[in-house]
Structure 1
Amino acid sequence: MTIQSTNITPLSRVSIQDDFWMEYVNLVRDVVVPYQWEALNDRIPDAEPSSAVRNFKIAAGEEQGEFYGMVFQDSDVGKWLEAVGYLLSSRPDPALERIADELIDTLAKAQRSDGYLNTYFTLKEPEGRWTNLAECHELYCAGHLMEAAVAYYEGTGKRKLLDVMCKYADYIDTVFGPEPGKLKGYDGHQEVELALVKLYRATGNEKYLNLSRFFLDQRGAKPNFYEIQLAQRGGKVHYPNLDIARRLSYSQSHLPVREQQTAEGHAVRVVYMCAGMADIAKETGDRGMLEASRRLWRNIVDKRMYITGGIGSMEHGEAFTFDYDLPNDTAYAETCASIGLIFFAHRMLQLEPKSEYADVMERALYNTVLSGMSKDGRHFFYVNPLEVYPEAHGKNAIYNHVKPERQGWFGCACCPPNVARLLGSLGKYIYSAHGNTLYTHLYIGSRIEWGTAEGPVAVEQETRHPWSGDVRLRISADKPSVFELALRVPDWCDGYVVRINGEAWTKTESLDGDGYVKIARSWTEGDTVDLDLHMSARRMSGHPMIRQVAGKTAIQRGPFVYCLEEADNGPHLHEVALLKDGKLQTDFEPDLLGGLEVVTAEGVRMKRESGDDRLYEPDVSYRVEPAALRFIPYYAWANRGRGEMTVWVRSL
């Protein structure tokens, strides 16, 4: 049974022309990808070595040496190559393509004759293949290389890496499956599931789709495969000090995926799994998988997600904990987890174009993902807290995972190349099509080329978003074309106006229950649609069950969540409070960090009247001093040195 879903927009048909986002796309192209290439080749002073490229060269026989790094080190190379593939889709770059081709040659030489391709097990534990799926990331690394192969093939038309990974996938299919003699297992870190679907779409080989579905359906089956393998290894583990890695809920193996009710364990693994589940639902019409995807979506978004779109509240296991447990100062909120949430949201949009999926996609993109990279493109956050007190770092161990400044690189460097591959592929998240309807999910200046029954059409989007809610879409068509435009009304918008060719559009019933304004008509060359989304600074409150934000307020304007920084408001941010009825004023400051919309709010700073230095005393009185509180978008914090930061502020 086919689920009525939308089609993913090919990246080659969308070009981004946006003042805000082109800065980041160009940063990825000109700075981030070259910088990460240097990091992967261990040429960044004072950064932790990677050896990811060198491992492949050793496995290929091009260099001598031993494996170095994490067991999943290969995946960083896959994500880097995937980002390169996306960049080459939008613009030729012969020098970058030559570097990538040489790397692909090395990968091809590193592949074993049976198709196996993994440097850790090739170099360090050649007899250990597939013996510790719970911890050792073999299929995870394979998945990232598969995604790279598809992106590079679509970006360049070159099949070499695609053929390498098809050979690997064919070999994996001989090892795993329901047939007698095959392993009834699945990887500890989900990734291969969604990668196999991409490989299926690129090749049409249903073997890859069926293998993806097998991995998902096998997860959590009884008897548990991880426990069987642990016994077969005589209790030997890869991470002896990481007990959580062997808990079944950590890798979502405690129940079959169709029976899971809540998001448990490692946050990145959860949303990668959910993305794969949504893919299978779309490609096979599997209603049970769709319902399971919806159920996990509701739990994450309604009960376990930060206002910034961050997920995974606990450092131990980089994990979800329980409903409404969202601490600010010890938040983990890994950058990769928000990227995975965007993958999940985007796939749910393909299944059912509801604005709530795009709302979450936008929230994570503009806040946690952008926060994960500095404005110079060379420093990164792995963890994205909502409150920082730098003096505690290095002194109180519960904050050791939280960094008050972005880092140059990481020993576990999954986040930087993940940011690069997401921003490199940003164009495919803006639009989707279903039948005769073109959906606009994100308001990013761009042009999409689309085919209708009457012929080709181009839609060009002009916008001053995210600083303004003004959007214009202009139609280019050789002849009149009948189709429907569906324009998202975001959850941060408290009103909107639509004009077609300058005249007000008054069909209010055009706003459907899924949160899109739908305009169906015959479109001709030069037609315009103007959409004015009302964008004001808003006070946001948390659910009463979120203990950590009780009595506090956050500021949001458009897609941006805002924060206070010490650079603007001085130290001891815990002393300030926001007046509930105070005025909120917005001003664009072009010279601040490349241009930011700043929100100034009426507040107070509370000072203890007593001059006594006693730690505790009865009936202390405070004097209240007026204070103009200055908020900047959360994504821009920590670009002006060390200092305090907070998203949630006490409200009076």
Structure 2
Amino acid sequence: MTDRKFHPRQHHHPLPLDQRAVSIQDEYWSSYVNLIKNTVIPYQWEALNDRVPDAEPSYAIRNFRIAAGLEEGEFGGFVFQDTDLHKWLEAVGYSLGTTPDPDLERVADEAIDLLASAQHEDGYLNTYFAIAEPNKRWTNLTDCHEMYTAGHLIEAAVAYYRGTGKTKLLDVARKLADHIDDRFGIEPGKIRGYDGHQEIELALVKLYEVTGEEKYLNLAGFLIDERGRNPSFLHEEWEKRGRTTHWAPGVVQKDPPALEYLQAHKPVREQEVATGHAVRAVYMYTAMADLALHKGDRELLSACRRLWRNMVNKQMYVTGSIGSTHHGEAFTFDYDLPNDTNYSETCASIGLIFFARRMLQAEVKGEYGDVMERALYNTVTAGIAGDGKHYFYVNPMEVWPAASEGNPGKRHVKAVRQKWYGCACCPPNVARLLSSLGQYVYTSGADTLYAHLYIGSEAKLQLAGRKVRVRLDSELPWKGKANLTIAEADGSGAFTLAARVPSWSKQTSFSLNGEPVTPEIRDGYAYLSRDWREGDVLAIELNMEPQRIYAHPNLRASAGRVSLQRGPLVYCFEETDNVAPLASLSLPADAVLRAVHDDWRDGVVCLETEGWRVTAPESQADDLYGTARPRLEKQPLRAVPYTLWGNRQPGEMLVWIREGYNREV
């Protein structure tokens, strides 16, 4: 039997800092954190209560009131509608952990009281099955997301406990987790199965971390290992239901559930290719990495590495988004990354960030930090408008509004952000990630502080037995300067600062207290060890030269095209700054890219250059096809950060622009 233990790393991998130990103080990111706290959380509370005019109803609070017996009515929304409230509570927990707010805490406590009053005596909690189908619990794990919904409740409970110290929601979560542990497993009389939508696995690890109860870690391990090892479970369940699905009740299906879509086609330890529903996949990979860390499981970590390499090197967009098709919100196959029909759900990039941070704990390598940064600075923040009240679910590489309206295959691609969604998983997901941003900036070991993201912040921790306060000052993403300052440090003794060297910075220099220094560069991180003293400053200078990014030749959708990047930001072309159709534009191979400040938003750096525009010859003014060559006209081009697109007048958008036609043609 294979020994899956690798004990040297089991208890010594770096850990994220406690959410209360990190405060964000950043010219760029503080605006997002404050937007979540001051606008998004209150707005989403209104949405959960169906008080946003002209927005799709949430039903979430109403469902809980009905389930608790406080009012009468029918269940509204999706079978997993409870998760909107759960994720909102998780965001609130993170926010309260860094910025106490008695009024917000009171509202959240009332919501928790409501949630607790809907819980059954045996621990079960799900408003759909309490109201709509009380006799069908645990009979359709493929479709009905019962464990997924429970997982989000558990995550909310852990965040709220860590942020406030209150245990009421944690008690609800433990009671629910105990119920699931009683019902599922390999023991006689238990259900030997797993949920169609992964999420609870990573949540159970969090519950183990705050309670120390190993049964939660073991339950997570069971659910991960049973998936694919027992693929017949989902088909047997389907047969027992008379070959029907939740989504088409009463309609007998010809084909059983697609196991690859559910990542259940083979044991997870043997999987090599990212497949199926993208959000489910990265939630599962996150849990796999968590379990590998806690259990010292070398085989599981190897599977994580394989899946990471496939996803990032062959199935990820340049913006750090994943999921190339709207059919099932899923991966398709290697190098299939269409620009105008991609899905790239905001939640999927958030899950990718979860996975990347766990891999950074397993092995500190720059590639994980690079992807975490790419997804955060581009896709995740593109998912929310500057007003905090409009959201993208889908994050396309290319938008033609007329096609979004008139082509059924492109109607999932929106040209403007929406107020809310009937399936509103993304808005509260953005809120919970950005309100917990401090957990992604750093990790620490016994004597090393790792800085993964250049986000201005202060961190309080112990290093080499010393109480230390480190301040990170950053001018990213507009300027390439950052400082790590030892603001406080008691006692003496050497410890290490390790700062990521981003792959986009072609030249990175360091200085210590104003003098050049050459740290050890290892796996994309710069390490500097010394007996640090209060007032010491490690200055980092990153190269912010605009760059052209080219796709692998096998990526057909972007062949002959180029995208632009400056620092961590990917850029795009909007109709507002250029001319339509954007498909008629091309960027000369020798055109100089100029970084310029824009006045439409504070501090924004745009890219300007000279390009070409293709127009129809006079002889073909009204003809669809012709034999005359198109005309070329000089055209100034302007690109803006992708994360900010869609905040002005609606119009076309393009990330990958055709390259060719030197300026002297």
Aligned equivalents of 1:500, 1:116: Cα separation in 2: 57
Which residue is 2:521 aligned to? 511
Aligned equivalents of 1:460, 1:506: Cα separation in 2: 21
Q: Give the SS at the match of 1:485.
A: strand
* Residue 532 (structure 1) aligned with residue 541 (structure 2): yes
* Residue 365 (structure 1) aligned with residue 373 (structure 2): no
Which residue is 1:47 aligned to? 55
Letter in structure 1 aligned against 2:306: R
Closer, same or farther in 2 for the Cα pair 1:156/1:279, shift >3 Å? same
Equivalent of residue 201 in structure 1, options 189, 206, 209: 209
Which residue is 2:490 aligned to? 478
* Residue 502 (structure 1) aligned with residue 511 (structure 2): no
Deviations, residues 371-405 of structure 1 (Å, cap 9, x unaligned): 10000000000000000111112211111100000
Letter in structure 2 aligned against 1:603: G
Letter in structure 2 aligned against 1:452: L
Equivalent of residue 116 in structure 2, options 108, 111, 123: 108
Q: Give the SS at the match of 2:260.
A: helix
Equivalent of residue 466 in structure 1, options 477, 484, 489: 477
Where in structure 1 do 4 or more consecutive aligned residues deviate above 6 Å?
Answer: 241-245
Letter in structure 2 aligned against 1:26: N
Alpha carbons 1:454, 1:482 under 8 Å: kept? no
Deviations, residues 30-64 of structure 1 (Å, cap 9, x unaligned): 11010000000000011011111111111111222
Letter in structure 2 aligned against 1:451: Q
- What's the offset of the Cα at 1:135? 0.3
Q: TM-score, normalised by structure 1?
A: 0.98
Give 1:610-649 correspondences, 5 Å limit.
610-612=618-620, 613-618=622-627, 620-649=628-657
- What's the offset of the Cα at 1:481? 3.6
- What's the offset of the Cα at 1:478? 2.7
In the alignment, structure 2 segments of 5+ residues that lack a partner are 661-665
Aligned equivalents of 1:233, 1:549: Cα separation in 2: 44
- What's the offset of the Cα at 1:555? 0.4
Aligned equivalents of 1:593, 1:64: Cα separation in 2: 48
Which residue is 1:34 aligned to? 42
Aligned equivalents of 1:455, 1:305: Cα separation in 2: 41
- What's the offset of the Cα at 1:453? 2.9
Aligned equivalents of 1:42, 1:454: Cα separation in 2: 51
Aligned equivalents of 1:557, 1:366: Cα separation in 2: 12
- What's the offset of the Cα at 1:467? 0.7
Which residue is 1:235 aligned to? 243
Which residue is 1:434 aligned to? 445
- What's the offset of the Cα at 1:9? 1.3
Aligned equivalents of 1:255, 1:223: Cα separation in 2: 7
Closer, same or farther in 2 for the Cα pair 1:223/1:304, shift >3 Å? closer
Aligned equivalents of 1:401, 1:634: Cα separation in 2: 19
Letter in structure 2 aligned against 1:544: P
Equivalent of residue 563 in structure 1, options 562, 567, 572: 572
* Structure 1 stretch displaced more, 235-244 or 152-161: 235-244
Letter in structure 1 aligned against 2:203: A
Aligned equivalents of 2:629, 2:69: Cα separation in 1: 74
Letter in structure 2 aligned against 1:408: K
Aligned equivalents of 1:607, 1:18: Cα separation in 2: 45
Alpha carbons 2:231, 2:259 under 8 Å: kept? no
Aligned equivalents of 1:202, 1:56: Cα separation in 2: 27
Alpha carbons 1:405, 1:641 under 8 Å: kept? no
Letter in structure 2 aligned against 1:626: K
Aligned equivalents of 2:492, 2:228: Cα separation in 1: 54
Alpha carbons 1:597, 1:632 under 8 Å: kept? yes
* Residue 383 (structure 1) aligned with residue 394 (structure 2): yes
- What's the offset of the Cα at 1:491? 1.0
Give 1:53-452 correspondences, 5 Å limit.
53-222=61-230, 224-240=232-248, 246-452=257-463
Which residue is 2:663 aligned to? none
Which residue is 2:19 aligned to? 11
Q: TM-score, normalised by structure 2?
A: 0.96
- What's the offset of the Cα at 1:221? 2.1
Aligned equivalents of 1:595, 1:453: Cα separation in 2: 39
- What's the offset of the Cα at 1:611? 3.2
- What's the offset of the Cα at 1:601? 1.7
Q: Give the SS at the match of 1:128.
A: coil
- What's the offset of the Cα at 1:443? 0.1
Aligned equivalents of 1:459, 1:223: Cα separation in 2: 49
Aligned equivalents of 1:481, 1:94: Cα separation in 2: 41
Deviations, residues 560-619 of structure 1 (Å, cap 9, x unaligned): 000000000021111111011111100122x3134311000221112233332221122x
Which residue is 2:606 aligned to? 598
Aligned equivalents of 2:656, 2:177: Cα separation in 1: 47
- What's the offset of the Cα at 1:232? 1.4
Deviations, residues 60-113 of structure 1 (Å, cap 9, x unaligned): 112221211100001111100000000000011000000000011111110000
Alpha carbons 1:308, 1:363 under 8 Å: kept? yes
Aligned equivalents of 1:465, 1:315: Cα separation in 2: 33
Alpha carbons 2:448, 2:463 under 8 Å: kept? no
Alpha carbons 1:479, 1:525 under 8 Å: kept? no
Letter in structure 1 aligned against 2:521: L
Equivalent of residue 502 in structure 2, options 452, 475, 490: 490
How many residues matched?
A: 647
Question: Over the residues paired in the alignment, what is the CA RMSD in angstroms?
Answer: 1.3
Alpha carbons 1:464, 1:470 under 8 Å: kept? yes
Deviations, residues 507-541 of structure 1 (Å, cap 9, x unaligned): 5xx111x1001000111110111000111100010
Alpha carbons 1:245, 1:251 under 8 Å: kept? no
* Structure 1 stretch displaced more, 452-461 or 489-498: 452-461
Deviations, residues 114-152 of structure 1 (Å, cap 9, x unaligned): 000000011111110000000000000000000000000
Alpha carbons 1:610, 1:621 under 8 Å: kept? no
In the alignment, structure 1 segments of 5+ residues that lack a partner are none
Deviations, residues 461-496 of structure 1 (Å, cap 9, x unaligned): 111111111001110213334101101000111001
Q: Give the SS at the match of 1:250.
A: coil
Aligned equivalents of 1:326, 1:453: Cα separation in 2: 46
Alpha carbons 2:574, 2:645 under 8 Å: kept? yes
Deviations, residues 146-165 of structure 1 (Å, cap 9, x unaligned): 00000000000000000111
- What's the offset of the Cα at 1:244? 9.0
- What's the offset of the Cα at 1:245? 8.8
Letter in structure 2 aligned against 1:292: A
Q: Give the SS at the match of 1:114.
A: coil
Q: Give the SS at the match of 2:359.
A: helix
Aligned equivalents of 2:287, 2:89: Cα separation in 1: 21
Aligned equivalents of 2:552, 2:601: Cα separation in 1: 33
Q: Give the SS at the match of 1:47.
A: coil
Q: Give the SS at the match of 2:572.
A: strand
